[in-house]
Structure 1
Amino acid sequence: MSSNSSPVYLVGVDVGTGSARAALVTGKGEVLQTCVKPIQTWNTQPNYYEQSSDDIWSAVCECVKNVTSGYAKEQIKGIGFDATCSLVVLDGQMQPLTVCPSSKDNQRNVILWMDHRAEEEARFINATHHQMLNYVGGSISLEMEVPKLLWLKRNMHDAVWTKVGAFYDLPDYLTFRATGADCRSICSAVCKWNYDAEDRCWSEDFLKTIGLVDDLRVDNWRLIGTHVANPGAAIDGGLSRQAAQELGLNPGTAVASSMIDAHAGALALLGCEGPPGRAGDGGSLTSKMAIICGTSSCHMSLTKRPVLAPGIWGPYKHAIIPDLYLNEAGQSTTGVLIDYMLQTHPCYDQLLKEHGGSNGKIYAFLNTFLDELAKKQGESSVHRLTIDLHIWPDFHGNRSPLADPNLKGMISGLTMTKDVQNLALIYLALMQALAYGTRHILQVLEASGREPITSILLCGGLSKNSLFVQTHADICSVPVLLPTEPEAVLLGSAMMGAYAAGLYDSLELAASGMGGSAMVVKPDLSDSTRDYHERKYRVFQRMYLDQRGYERIMKG
């Protein structure tokens, strides 16, 4: 990092599923200020989730003004943006254009990442077996943008398709609002839009095969992007005058090409190291897996050579670090599923009253309750409490490695009991099931030729849950690293801002220079614990096969 007598700061912006956030960060990665503002989501029919780009930008501006208040504008050198991989639709005047078939409200112009309306379109695309699908594990997800584009063409042709001026991935929309420049990040383009990263171009053959090429290639691909930059690259001109006024910053402040939120978190995590000289300190960049675990979970790992793994997205070249390949897996519901299981249990209201109206406090209570229950029952490990209770966690489909949005959740071992102990055991079994899902992802990656993962790095809300963390370490048999700076996603965006501002010579150097250190949680590698999880993992795998068998029976 370049030396300077006066302090310099970066701003990181993160737009998640339910809120916009900003952080003020030093050039060495210390987060000084954070602010969060909620954003609105419409869910007026099953599987349809919509947001407003104006509402999102307003929340972003409020957050940035909040965290930079009291600091000299000239000391704020760069800003980076990340967001969910949601689809933003604008009209010919670059104003919001509705994506809601039941409303003419143009404020509802964002199809949220978790929207599942494009199931038929994803099925149609997958039936082509086009070679570009090899880069998404052989099967495109209905959560990606191309199925959603096809849905809009088929279902809102007159209302949207004929009037559209631009389609953006939400992270790129934020840099557009910040600069006025039509710059797309290869992170979004390759990971969610089926962009060809090897040849750095849109695949005309793929888009022709699915019936979109004639619509999208007009004016040199103006609707979906003509200029595609690496993450963190400085966008020409920096912050526009209008955006500078809205954000409370100086015009010309460096603006970085964006990342998807999970990828920004992965950047920060992969730059993080454990204590010096300690076993399990994270190893090389390509031996780590970063898991960003919030509403859903994203599993990110980098390789020097491309790895094609069934049901797992990638290899995506340049998506995080130039010239490295990203494999991206995930679980569609994690934090939201844990909340669902808690909130639908008969004793939830009782626990809510007893623990101050906070789900987080309930989880802390359940963790302690389970430890005490294990001791009371003479068990050497809390995990043994679920010997006859098993969960398959795909209540909202499977993102990886089975890539099936129609899979359902399963529970085996229910009784008539509805007390706190019953909830605690279901909660534990779900934690185990989510970790078995991660183990399944690791297993498929390594079977596809990936070098073994030697450590997992966690960030997001679930990284604060000690049971979730230890369960992942035990079931995956590797150390889990927890960064001392918990705001990894915001930090990742600030790293991009630092690189764009010229504080570091590469994004990788920004990550290592700002990534900080981590606490190491070691796995229980005792024979008894490993044997127990081996047996439960076999049950986990059998539950999937059973569900498939039930489908075959019922379909005749």
Structure 2
Amino acid sequence: MDDILLSIDVGSGSLRCALVTTEGKILAQQKHAIRCWNPAGKMGFSSDDIWSNLVDTIKNLISLSNYEPDSIRGIGLDATASLLFLTADMKPIALPDNSECDVYGWMDHRALPQSEQFSAVMHRTGNHQRMIPETHIARALWLKQSHPELWKQCYCIIDLSDYLVWKLTDELIWTNGSLSRRFDEQLLEAVDFTDVKERFHGIHLPIGAAVGEGLCKTAAISLKLPVGVPVASAIIDGYGGTLSTILSRSKNEPVNPPETALKRLSMIVGTSTIYIATSREPQNIYGTWGPSPSVLPDLYHNAVGQSAAGILLDYILANHPAHELACNKARQKGLSITAYLNVQLEKMAGEQPVACLAENIHMLPYYAGNRTPRMDMTLVGMISGLKLDNSEGNLALHYLCTIQALALGARHNIETLICAGYEFDLLTPAGGLAKNPLFLAEHCNATGLPAAIPEQPDAMLLSGAMTAGLAAKLFSDWTHAIQSVSRYEQIINPDPELADYYERKYCVFLEMHEDQMKYRKIMATALNTTKNSVF
């Protein structure tokens, strides 16, 4: 019988659990929606909701499969870059404006003033990087400054992924991937925030290490699994997806050495996007996150990405007058709304490439600010080319325009990396949007790079399988784990005939940002003129 690994992937709208072999074959999986509160500029989850759904999903997975609980050799998990503040009795502190939430979601931007406070100090000390409000240390400073009464209650600051490991093992741990631990001592002193350090607890472990004595009795009873099953230290979902694909190979190719990652760009595309590059030496690059050490020996990573991707597509579709009509037609055909619109666009295009349908409609996709490379969360979205058109065809064009804008945003990020010396010859995608052929095709066309389609459509679930296998000592090291599970099915290439089209689209994309800055300057000047005339 195959060695079976239990993989847990906690996303923004759902969590998934799967039984996976050490060769990366998903034997069975279950998915469950989780509650997400996402008002403007904020995002929150409920830890009770996540945990109870995780328990139910794992129990359903085991009961509906042909595998016994005793056959599970290890448990691994990844989760979004979200954050909790815990009291001394390890109870999550509720968000001050929503008693149902106690997890600060990765897309929560309420700490914008604090991130700007850190950025100002960085600038004065010669570090011209910028901090964005998705940074955990900015969120911690926000809690202290905005809600000192809650800050006094806070005993422990912890990543969501590490919190779930604690629930499984009753052990407090952190890893090099724990984002709450990423801070600069001098920055803390400069903003009088050194007391944050006393709120970090637990032992340090490598990513994928076995935690304590494995699955604790309380969790084992809830999950109906044996006590002591090895549980791995967790990983952030984007990085987990990267490791699931970065050394992928076709069935007939030999295993790739770690150096293969140097010319590949990981492309993790879901609710948000993150693109992770690999280098031999650590590189400090403005407009990127990093450098951070890789789990692969003697390598380093820099990351770029966009805060709103899948969530932006959902927003654009849901707010179009033809959305309900298109959804009803999609359901009748047994298709998702995006699959249905892909078909409609093919019909609309006829003999011309689908991409050219959006020749006169353009978008700047900064609806949630710009994570990188501009690192300016005050930027907003823009659309040029709107018409009084409530038709389903117009909905399809807005959908295509959004995909192209996200692809052009990827190109902007990739060019930032290339200017710093990176060279890429392959995109390695994973995540929900990687299942959308139009999304992938337009990324290839916009960036000029081919993409390797994962053999396993749900490649993100390989992340937890790799850490589980490492904890259970079924893999000797990370290189072995990645080479064992990661394969691609095919390569898709950019259409060379669209190179000029996308060159022009990219010029418009960059110009739209310049226009936004120009409009701000005009309005600021007008405002000052008005104020001066009053006095």
CA distance in 2, matches of 1:240, 1:11: 16
State the Cα distance separating 1:132 from its structure 2 match. Answer: 10
Note if 1:272 corresponds to 2:248.
yes
Residues 76-85 or 223-232, more deviating:
223-232
Cα shift readout 1:264-302 (whole Å, capped 9, x = no counterpart): 111111132245469x99981221112111111111222
* Residue 524 (structure 2) pairs with residue 549 (structure 1): no
Q: Equivalent residues in 2 for 1:230-379 (5 A)?
A: 230-274=206-250, 276=252, 284-318=260-294, 320-356=295-331, 361-375=336-350, 379=352
Are residue 95 (structure 1) and residue 70 (structure 2) matched?
A: no
Identity %: 34
Q: Please say if 1:438 is aligned against 2:402.
A: no
- Equivalent residue letter for 2:481: A
Q: Is 1:122–2:115 an aligned residue pair?
A: yes
> Does 2:204 align with 1:208?
no
Contact 1:281 1:520 in 2 (8 A): no
CA distance in 2: counterparts of 1:283 and 1:233, whole angstroms:
23
Of stretches 475-484 and 382-391 in structure 1, the one that deviates more from structure 2 is 382-391
Shift of 1:524: 1.0
1:141 to 132, 135, 150: 132
In the alignment, is residue 496 of structure 1 matched against residue 492 of structure 2?
no
Q: AA paired with 2:323?
A: Y
Question: What SS does the corresponding residue of 2:52 show, helix, strand or coil?
Answer: helix
Contact 2:247 2:258 in 1 (8 A): no
> Who is 1:416 aligned against?
388
2: CA distance, partners of 1:11 / 1:247: 12
SS of 2:177 mapped into structure 1: helix
Q: Give the conservation status (yes or no) of the 8 Å contact 2:362–2:509.
A: yes
Instruction: Report the 3-state secondary structure (helix = DSSP H, G, I; strand = E; otherwise coil) of the residue aligned with 2:393.
Output: helix
What one-letter code is carried by the residue in structure 1 that aligns with 2:31? V
> How many angstroms apart in 2 are the aligned matches of 1:383 and 1:291?
21
Q: CA deviation at 1:228?
A: 2.4
The answer as to whether partners of 2:171 and 2:202 remain within 8 angstroms in 1 is no
Which amino acid is 1:340 matched to? Y
- What CA distance in whole angstroms lies between the structure 1 residues aligned with 2:27 and 2:262? 30
Asked whether 1:49 is paired with 2:43, we answer yes
Which of residues 71, 82, 86 is equivalent to 2:82?
A: 86
Does structure 1 conserve the Cα–Cα contact (< 8 Å) formed by 2:41 and 2:368?
A: no
Query: Within the alignment, does 1:536 sit opposite 2:501 as a pair?
Result: no
1:486-514 Cα offsets, whole Å, 9 max, x none, are 12222111111101110111012101101
Q: Superposed, which structure 2 residues align to 1:172-187 within 5 Å? A: 172-187=162-177
Residue 217 in structure 1 maps to residue 197 in structure 2 = yes
What is the alpha-carbon distance in structure 2 between the residues aligned to residue 358 and residue 463 of structure 1? 22
Alignment-derived partner of residue 112 in structure 1: 105
CA distance, structure 2, for counterparts of residue 484 and residue 532 of structure 1: 31
- For the residues of structure 2 that align with 1:524 and 1:448, how far apart are their CA atoms? 26
Q: Deviations over 1:406-465 (max 9, x none)?
A: 111111122223322222222222211111111111100010122x11111112221121
**Residue-pair matches, total:** 522
CA separation in 2, counterparts of 1:357 and 1:164?
51
Contact kept in structure 1, 2:365 and 2:405, CA below 8 Å: yes
Cα pair 1:88 1:167 within 8 Å, conserved: yes
> Cα gap change, 1:422/1:172 in structure 2, threshold over 3 Å: closer, same or farther?
same
Partner of 2:460: helix, strand, or coil?
helix
Aligned in 2, Cα 1:108/1:414: closer, same or farther, shift over 3 Å? closer
Decide whether the 8 Å contact of 2:45 with 2:103 is kept in 1.
yes
Match of 1:171 in 2: 161
Distance across 1 between alignment mates of 2:94 and 2:399 = 39
The 1-side partners of 2:293 and 2:257 are apart by: 26
Instruction: Give 1:458's aligned residue.
Output: 429
Q: Give how far 1:309 is off.
A: 2.0
Give the match's secondary structure for 1:327.
strand
User: 1:131: how far off?
Assistant: 9.9
One-letter identity of the residue aligned with 1:181: E
Deviation at 1:247, TM superposition (A): 2.1
Tell me how far apart the structure 2 counterparts of residues 291 and 473 of structure 1 sit (CA, whole Å): 11
Aligned letter for 1:491?
L
> One-letter code of the match for 2:438?
L
The residue matched to 1:35 in structure 2 has which SS?
strand
Please, which of 153, 164, 184 is the counterpart of residue 144 of structure 2?
Answer: 153
* Shift in CA distance, 228/282, structure 1 to aligned 2, threshold 3 Å: closer
The separation in 2 between residues aligned to 1:16 and 1:72, in whole angstroms, is: 26
CA distance in 1, matches of 2:37, 2:494: 41
Q: What are structure 1's unaligned runs of at least 5 residues?
A: 1-5, 196-202
Residue 243 (structure 1) shift: 1.6
**TM-score where L is the length of structure 1:** 0.89
What's 2:438 paired with? 467
Q: 1:130 to 1:246 in 2, by over 3 A?
A: farther
User: Which residue number corresponds to residue 75 of structure 1?
Assistant: 71
Change (3 A) 1:268 1:146: same
Q: Deviations over 1:182-223 (max 9, x none)?
A: 11021124xx5425xxxxxxx43232223221x2333xxxx2
Q: CA deviation at 1:540?
A: 0.8
Quick check: 2:292–2:300 contact (8 Å CA) kept in 1? yes
Relative to structure 1, the CA distance from residue 46 to residue 362 in structure 2 (aligned partners, 3 Å threshold; closer, same or farther) is closer
